């Protein structure tokens, strides 16, 4: 199968990041990039739903919180291997994705966005009220004292190794989506985006493939939330506010939803830019002004986002040489 320019650039960036980033960065920036990588995985689910199905889901960060909650609870309650806990977190959020798919079977556009946003708001209230597990007793697993230690993968106990582990999962998430795009689900999603009536008349099971898309997005959110829990050891409810899902979606539009480079740009904007402002002793809220200007730029002049403009520039330069 022919590899696109975006895929080639993404693999090159992933290889360079895997080898060099843990070697040259300090401890704090490694943690920031671990968080960035987790949100890149989550953003990939939002991007493929928007670009392939035309559906706006504003609950992805909240689903990350579900995955993180399950990951922490499994770790503290059962002490199973990291990968087993991560698989459970992905499976649980996959089912949450199916629940969100139920209204999507009848609604699109603004109404679907509002329903997913309301779901995110409900999860935000739950997280704020009951907090995240930290080794306590009972169903919620919360104790007032210091959190119990979190068990990372055996090959990634140090932050530098865990960053490489995150990069591996970013590539895996992109490959999972790419595999779907090149097989029957991708063809069905493309037909559904063009016309649901035409898809029905062609024998496409629209209900089935919509539920499949929401389940896949939920699975990626759960994996990213579980990986974030592994990177930080304890999660803060403020990380999973409903407004954060809106921000992640907006930055996905800025970066570009049709290629993996756009998703990477979205994650970098979401996490690295505010961290840079804090490092430079600049109010991080100023980043919102920049994001707003970037969103206007993307809507007016860059329908494929910043990644589309960058890839067009690379294509022009390659033709000249």
Instruction: Examine the pLDDT at 1 and tell me if it is beyond 60.
Output: no
What is the Cα–Cα distance from 262 to 50, expressed in whole angstroms? 13
Average pLDDT of span 84-90: 97
What is the Cα–Cα distance from 227 to 74, expressed in whole angstroms? 13
Average pLDDT of span 100-125: 84
DSSP letters along 121-170, please?
HHHHHHHHHH---SS-STTTT--SSPPPPP---TT--SHHHHHHHHHHHH
pLDDT band at 263 (very low <50, low <70, confident <90, very high): very high
Instruction: Examine the pLDDT at 306 and tell me if it is beyond 90.
Output: no
What is the Cα–Cα distance from 45 to 267, expressed in whole angstroms? 12
Kindly state the DSSP code that residue 238 receives in the 8-state scheme: G
Hey, what are 307's tokens? 């990644």
Hey, what are 97's tokens? 């994705």
Average pLDDT of span 281-300: 87
What is the Cα–Cα distance from 284 to 254, expressed in whole angstroms? 19
76 near 133, Cβ under 8 Å?
yes
The residue whose two tokens read 């360079």 is: 16
Q: Which one, of 47, 16, 12, lies nearest residue 33 by Cα?
A: 16
Helix pair 159-181, 206-232: axis angle to 10 deg: 170
The residue whose two tokens read 């809507």 is: 299
What is the Cα–Cα distance from 72 to 151, expressed in whole angstroms? 10
* Residue 315 CB-density burial (10 A; 0-12 exposed, 13-18 middle, 19+ buried): exposed
* Residue 32 CB-density burial (10 A; 0-12 exposed, 13-18 middle, 19+ buried): buried
For 178-200, what is the HEC assignment?
A: HHHHCCHHHHHHHHHHHCHHHHH
| pLDDT tens for each residue of 202-258 | 888 888 898 899 999 999 999 999 999 999 999 999 999 999 999 999 999 999 888
Average pLDDT of span 285-305: 87
Boundaries of every domain in the chain: 29-135+148-240
What is the Cα–Cα distance from 230 to 68, expressed in whole angstroms? 8
Q: What is the CA radius of gyration of the chain?
A: 19
| pLDDT tens for each residue of 41-79 | 999 999 999 988 888 889 999 999 999 999 999 999 998
What pTM was estimated for this model as a whole? Answer: 0.93
Hey, what are 7's tokens? 């895929």
What is the Cα–Cα distance from 176 to 294, expressed in whole angstroms? 29
What is the Cα–Cα distance from 56 to 190, expressed in whole angstroms? 15
What is the Cα–Cα distance from 17 to 170, expressed in whole angstroms? 11
Sign of CA dihedral 269, 274, 275, 280: positive
Instruction: Examine the pLDDT at 321 and tell me if it is beyond 70.
Output: no
């Amino acid at each position: 199968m022919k590899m696109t320019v975006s895929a080639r650039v993404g693999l090159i960036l992933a290889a360079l990041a895997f080898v060099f980033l843990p070697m040259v960065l300090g401890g704090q920036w490694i943690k920031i990039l671990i968080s960035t990588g987790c949100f890149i995985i989550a953003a990939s689910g939002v991007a493929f739903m928007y670009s392939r199905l035309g559906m706006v889901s504003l609950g992805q960060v909240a689903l990350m919180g579900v995955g993180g909650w399950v990951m922490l609870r499994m770790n503290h309650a059962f002490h199973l291997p990291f990968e087993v806990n991560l698989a459970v977190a992905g499976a649980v959020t996959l089912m949450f994705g199916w629940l969100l798919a139920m209204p999507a079977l009848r609604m699109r556009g603004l109404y679907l966005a509002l329903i997913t946003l309301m779901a995110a708001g409900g999860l935000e209230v739950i997280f704020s009220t009951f907090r995240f597990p930290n080794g306590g007793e009972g169903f919620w697993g919360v104790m007032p004292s210091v959190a119990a230690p979190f068990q990372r993968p055996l090959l990634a106990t140090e932050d530098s190794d865990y960053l490489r582990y995150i990069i591996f999962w970013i590539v895996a998430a992109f490959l999972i989506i790419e595999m779907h795009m090149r097989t029957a689900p991708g063809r069905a999603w493309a037909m559904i985006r063009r016309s649901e009536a035409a898809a029905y008349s062609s024998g496409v099971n629209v209900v089935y493939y919509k539920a499949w898309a929401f389940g896949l997005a939920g699975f990626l959110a759960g994996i990213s939330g579980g990986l974030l829990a592994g990177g930080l050891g304890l999660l803060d409810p403020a990380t999973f506010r409903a407004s954060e899902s809106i921000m992640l979606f907006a930055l996905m539009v800025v970066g570009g939803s049709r290629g993996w480079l756009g998703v990477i740009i979205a994650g970098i904007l979401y996490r690295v830019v505010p961290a840079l402002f804090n490092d430079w002793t600049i109010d991080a809220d100023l980043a919102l002004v920049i994001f707003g200007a970037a969103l206007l730029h993307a809507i007016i002049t860059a329908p494929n986002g910043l990644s589309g403009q960058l890839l067009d520039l690379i294509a022009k330069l390659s033709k000249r040489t």
